[in-house]
Amino acid sequence: MSEHNFSIEFFPPKTAEGAEKLRVTRVKLAELHPKYFSVTFGAGGTTQQGTLDTVIDIRKEGYAAAPHLSCVGGTRDSIRDILKQYQANDIHRLVALRGDLPSGYGAAGEFRYANELVEFIRAETGDWFHIEVAAYPEMHPQARSPQDDLQSFVRKMNAGANAAITQYFYNADAYFQFVELAQKAGVTAPIVAGIMPITNSSQLMRFSEMCGAEIPRWVRLKLASFGDDTASIKAFGLDVVTHLCERLLAGGAPGLHFYSLNQAAATTAIWQRLV
């Protein structure tokens, strides 16, 4: 598995207790030797300091860290300041996103789209950062059409991104078709598959509703049939997601990016089945 690009995502903890729990999780997941840990960024910069604190902790522990950076609410000056802080702390990876404007939030900021953010980062910092952007195999929920969505993705890559990470999905064919179309449109950079372990069916339904990820009907029905039987949900989820990962890697996916939700068990279990 070492030839694949394997990474794990966290969200910034909001409390000291959460930070301590995440440290314990990180120690466990570091045993899997991921290429890096990424850390999400809240809408309108609500967790900007938390993102910075978390990536600095990760760097101090000796691991590569990739903070998310969002357009939402950002100005050129504020983004420039954040980039300087990351450079000062020896951070060499970024995940550059448009981000979602929260309801009731005011101006979108000076950057409307992720490609504008990527261009700005390149103009300000040259090749200092390895930049990843988002990809949507099943189409971004706000895109007008799959064709528009693909064109938007190509613009981000052409703006200077090094690689992409997809939204999570459970339909491998959607991923393979997206990659094929992106390559036909001239994208040569790696498109890493985003993986969401299944451990909690109601949480999964909620997340998927928000981000537009399709849960296959047979998976939804099977999860519903388990009711509150969490052991059965986790066992079934482990089988489904492991099989998905096996198919993706066998089909040429350059790597897997696990959305850990700050938990170690599910990601570890899937990874151990794959090696």
Query: Which residues does the annotation mark as catalytic?
Result: 9
Nearest to residue 194, comparing CAs of 256, 236, 273?
256
Residues 6+ apart with CB under 8 A from 231: none
Pairing of strands 163-168, 191-195: parallel
Consecutive H or E run containing 10: strand 5-10
Tell the residue number behind the tokens 């404007």, with chain if given: 101
Consecutive H or E run containing 70: strand 65-70
117, 69 contact by CB (below 8 A): yes
Pairing of strands 163-168, 5-10: unpaired
Alpha helices in the chain (DSSP H): 16-30, 48-60, 76-88, 114-125, 146-158, 172-184, 201-211, 217-225, 230-250, 265-274
